[in-house]
Every structure is written in C-alpha cells, then in structure tokens.
Structure 1
Amino acid sequence: MKNIAEVLENVKTVGIGGHIRPDGDCVGSCMALYLYIRTYFPEIDVDVYLDNPKPIFGHIDRIDDIKTEIKEDIRYDLFITCDVSARDRIALAGDLFEKASRTVCIDHHISNPGFADENHIQGEISSCCEVLYGILDPQKVTLPIATAIYTGMIHDTGVFQYSSTSPETMRIAGELMKTGIPFNKIIDESFYQKTYLQNQVMGRVLAESILLQNGKCIVGYLRRKDMDFYGVEGSDLDGIVSQLRLTRGVEVAIFLYETETQTFKVSLRSNGKIDVSQIAVFFGGGGHTRAAGCDLQGSMYDVINNITAEIEKQFCEEPKQC
C-alpha cells in the first residue's frame, strides 16, 4: 500500500478499531486515521471503536468521538484495524470486523500473521503511527493529525529510547513538530506526570521487587488485594515496568498484576539481549523485541516461574551463560 487513498476508493462507510486495553500507539494511530478520513474524505461515514481511552489522551482532537459500545447492527464497507497484532486482540469491534465487506490491517508487530483481507505490516518500524504516516500524504498532516501520530510514536519508542527508533523515526518526528504540536507537554503528560497515589503504588512495587537469575531479571507485582487497598486499576500502573527496566545490571523486567483471582496481566521489557516478544507469543500474547505482554492464569509464583523459565532459555543460548 502506497497511500491510504488506495483502499478508500469507492467506499462509503469505514470502521476503525484497535486492540484491547489501547495504549498510546493504538489510540494515536486510530485517531490519526479517523481525523484524516474525516478531513479529506468527507463523503465517507467513518467511526472509530476503542475500549475507554485513558485520560492522558485527552489532548487528541475529537477523542470524544470514540465509540466504546456497539449499539446498532451495522455493516461497514471497510473495516481497518490499527496496531492490532492478531485477530483475537481486536477489542469490542471484533464482530464488526467479521461482518465488514472488506478488511485492512495496518500494524508494526513482528508477530502479526496477517489476518485481514489486505495487510500493511512493517515489523521493523517503531510504531503503528510511523507505519500509518508512511501511507498518508505528508502535506495533508494537519496539527490535530500530527498530534495523534506523535503521541503514538513517543509511546511505542519510549520517547525515542528504544532500539526500534531509526533515523526515519526522528525525521518524521521533526516533520510533525513543524506543524506546531505541543511536543513537550505531550511527553510530560504521557510519561512523567503521576498522581500522588500512582507514586505510592510505584514505590511499593519497587520496594518489594525481586532480583532473579543473578540480577539480570527483575520482577515487580501487585496482587488484587493490594490494588483494592490502594483503589487502583491497571490504567493506574503505567510506567512501572519501564522503571523496573532501568535497574542497573538488569536485562529484562517483568511486571504483573492480578486482574481477577489467579489471572495476571504480564508486561515485559528488555534492554536488548532478551527478545520478550518470543516469550509473550509463547504464552499467547504479543508485542515487540523489547516490549511485549501476555495474560496468564495460575498462582503468582507459577506465573513468575513460567515466565522466567522462558527467559532463562534465551540467556542459555548465549555463550557461557549457563
């Protein structure tokens, strides 16, 4: 696909959807595409479906247009997924995807098997927003569209720290900045500003974290009872796994929290030697070489043991590591 206009030709209705628990790249790419179609293809009736986005994305234009429920029986001419790595990762709009006359997947996950009728997947690219930018007309990227794209790019690159960040990533970021986006405010509100309660919870996780595998692996956790005590949910825990990763000597960080009794959401971050996407896919999840996740059932200790066993296998592939 060279331009998004290729798939929009002769289309009257478009649905856009992202993955469950949408992160910045998911929200940014879905909203950027939504705004682009609304602006330059006014004859197309377009809707965007996502699970409730976090408040930190409130700076994105028309964020309130997102549909969080499916009320009407509707069949789209075209349904486009953004940042969705597998069919079963589509959030509430899965049925709309199945019923659509034609489907398109725009993504950057290396684990994506290509589940749509047409797939534009670039696994070596830093973010879905960067992939999306490549099929938009750069002269038509307005301030609102640029804001959404930049939001997604900084979230999936860790503010341009991850190894997936390329010279092209930085060039695109520079082009987006030319539109006048409040780039410093977006970064602060997305990554650094925390509520007092969020700081308390992070402090507890860091204080109770454990080092494994000769200090190369760090694990942080929260049980359901702990989350209830603080009155927090998964959306309040952003940034914890990234902070764990910054521990000196650590190669891979694990953060898990209990979503319901003996069901855990696991986030994995790597400093380069461990491919955490392989581990996540092994357990039914997905992601990237240095940032991935999955859901696992069992006791907390079983989950930790199962994850670290797969990490140890990769360490053992290195000379003199085992």
Structure 2
Amino acid sequence: MENIAEILEGVKIMGIGGHIRPDGDCVGSCMALYLYVKTYYPEIQADVYLDNPKPVFGHIDCMDEIKTELDGDKEYDLFVTCDVSARDRLAIAGPYFDTAKRTACIDHHISNSGFAQVNHIRGEVSSACEVLYGLFDPEKVVRTIAVPIYTGMVHDTGVFQYSSTSPETMRIAGELMKTGFNFSKIIDESFYQKTYVQNQVMGRVLAESILLLDGKCIIGYLKKRDMEFYGVDGKDLDGIVSQLRLTAGVEVAMFIYEVETQSFKVSLRSNGNVDVSKIAVYFGGGGHMRAAGCDLQGSVYDVINNVTEQICKQFQEQEV
C-alpha cells in the first residue's frame, strides 16, 4: 500500500481501532486517520474505538467522538487497526474487526506478523504515526491532523531520542511543525508532565528498586495494595520504566506491577545490547527491540526469575 486512498475506495462505513491501554502513538495514529477520513472523505461514516484514552491527549481534536465501548451490532466495510501488533492486542473493537468485510493493519512493531487482509507494517520506522504519515498526501496534513501525528511520534521516540528516530523522522516532524501548533506545549503536557501522586509513586519504585546481573539489570515493582493506597492504576505509571533505564551501568530495565493476585504487567526497556522484544514475544507479549511488554502469571519471584533468565541468555549469546 502506497496511499491510504487505496483501501478507502468504495467504503461507506469504516471502523478504526487501537491496542489495549492506548499510548500516545496509538491515540495519535487512530485519531489522525479518523480526522483525515472525516476531512477528506465526508461520504464515509467513520467510527474510532479506543480504550479510555488518558486526559493528557485532550489537545487532539474530536477526542469526544471516540467510542469506548461496543456500539451494537455493526458490519463495517473496512476496519483499520493502528499501532496494534497482534489481533489479541486489539482493544474493545475486536468483534467489529472480525466481522468487517475488509481489514487493514497499519503498524511498526517488528513482532507483527500481519493479521489483517492488508498489512502495512514497517518495523524500521519510529512510530505508527510516522508510518501513517507516509500513506497520507502531505499537502492534506493540516494542523488538526498534524497534531495527533506529532503527538504519536513524540511519545514513541521518547521526544526524538530513541534509536528508531531517523533523519526522516525529524524531517516529518519539521513538516508537521510548519502547520503552526504549539509543539513544546504538546511535549511538556502530554509526555513529561506528571501529577504529584505520580511523582510520589515513581519515587517509591525508584527507591525500592533492585540491581541484578552485576548491575546490568534493574527491577522496579509495585504491589496492587500500594497502587490502591496512592489511588493510581496502570495509566498513571508511564515513565517509571524509562527512568529506571537511565540508571548508570544498566543495560535492561524491568518494571512490574500487580494487576491481581498472581497476575502482573511487565514493561521492559533496553539500552541496546538486549532485544527485549524477543523476551516479550517469548512470554506472549510484543513490542520493539528497546521497548516491549508482556503479561505474566505466578508469584513476583517467578516473574523476575523467568524474565531475567531470558535476559541472561542474551548476555551469554553475546559472550560466545
């Protein structure tokens, strides 16, 4: 696929959906596609489904039009997923994807093997938003569409610092900025800014973190009862694993938080020598070489032991 117009021909009703616990790239790509279709294809009735996006993305137009639950029985002519690495990662709109006449996947996860009828997956690109931009007519990317694309690129590149950031990424960011939005405000308020309680939680995790594997691996852990004490949930924990990764001497950071008894969410970050996407995929998750995640069952000690075992294997392979 070279242009989004290829899959929109003849479509009267379409759905757009992102992954569970949508991050900036997921929200940005879904909303950019929605706004592009709404602006240039008014004959198409488009619905966008996302799993309760965080308020920090309120600067994106038409966020109030997002559907956060199924909207009755529908059969879409086309259903497009954005930033979804596998069918089981698709959030609330899974049933609509399954019954759609045609399906398409726009993504950048290297672990994505292609689960739609049309798959446009570029694992070397910084973000789903950058992939999507490549399918749009550049002259049609006005400010309202540029804002969600820029937001997604900012979030998935860590404000243009991760290794996936390329000269092309920066060129596109520059083109988007020309449309006239307040880019520094988007970065500060949607990426860096934390609430007082979020800072307290991060401080606690950092203070109680442990180093393993001769200081090459750092682990942070948060119990469910502690999350309840602070009144936070998974959406409030962004940035913790990235801060752990910045510890001097660390190659891999792992952040674990308890969802239910014997059930955990695991986020992994790497400084480059360990491919954490391979580890996440091994445990049924997914992601990128330097940023990935998965869900694991058992005790927290089981989780730590099982994941660190896979980390050790990669270190050992490098020594051979």
Q: State the match for 1:257 in structure 2.
A: 257
Q: Quick check: 1:226 aligned with 2:235?
A: no
Q: State the match for 1:216 in structure 2.
A: 216
Q: State the match for 1:268 in structure 2.
A: 268
- C-alpha distance in 1 between matches for 2:306 and 2:4: 42
Give a deviation string over 1:143-192, Cα, whole Å, max 9, x none. Answer: 01100000000111111111010000000000000001211011101222
- C-alpha distance in 2 between matches for 1:83 and 1:255: 22
The letter of the residue matching 1:237 is L
Q: State the match for 1:123 in structure 2.
A: 123
- C-alpha distance in 1 between matches for 2:169 and 2:181: 16
Structure 1 position 261, deviation (Å):
1.1
The letter of the residue matching 1:144 is T
Give a deviation string over 1:60-88, Cα, whole Å, max 9, x none. Answer: 10011100011311100000000000011
- Superposition TM-score, scaled by structure 2 size: 0.99
The letter of the residue matching 2:277 is S
Structure 1 position 319, deviation (Å):
2.3
The letter of the residue matching 2:304 is I
2:318 match: secondary structure: coil
Structure 1 position 231, deviation (Å):
1.2
Q: State the match for 1:144 in structure 2.
A: 144
Structure 1 unaligned segments of length 5 or more: list them: none
- C-alpha distance in 1 between matches for 2:5 and 2:302: 49
2:80 match: secondary structure: strand
Q: Quick check: 1:240 aligned with 2:235?
A: no
2:267 match: secondary structure: strand
The letter of the residue matching 1:304 is I
Give a deviation string over 1:268-287, Cα, whole Å, max 9, x none. Answer: 00000000000000000000
- C-alpha distance in 2 between matches for 1:19 and 1:160: 22
Give a deviation string over 1:267-308, Cα, whole Å, max 9, x none. Answer: 000000000000000000000000000000111111011111
Q: State the match for 1:308 in structure 2.
A: 308
The letter of the residue matching 1:231 is G
- C-alpha distance in 2 between matches for 1:262 and 1:56: 31
- C-alpha distance in 2 between matches for 1:196 and 1:117: 45
- C-alpha distance in 2 between matches for 1:178 and 1:312: 46
The letter of the residue matching 1:101 is K
Q: State the match for 2:198 in structure 1.
A: 198
Give a deviation string over 1:175-215, Cα, whole Å, max 9, x none. Answer: 00000121101110122211111111000000000000000
Q: State the match for 2:154 in structure 1.
A: 154
- C-alpha distance in 2 between matches for 1:39 and 1:70: 24
- Superposition TM-score, scaled by structure 1 size: 0.98
Q: Report runs of 4+ in structure 1 exceeding 4 Å deviation.
A: none
Q: State the match for 1:70 in structure 2.
A: 70
- C-alpha distance in 2 between matches for 1:66 and 1:260: 28
Q: State the match for 1:134 in structure 2.
A: 134
The letter of the residue matching 1:95 is P
Identity %: 77
Q: Quick check: 1:187 aligned with 2:177?
A: no
- C-alpha distance in 1 between matches for 2:103 and 2:45: 16
The letter of the residue matching 2:108 is H
Structure 1 position 229, deviation (Å):
1.2
- C-alpha distance in 2 between matches for 1:70 and 1:117: 22
Q: State the match for 1:176 in structure 2.
A: 176
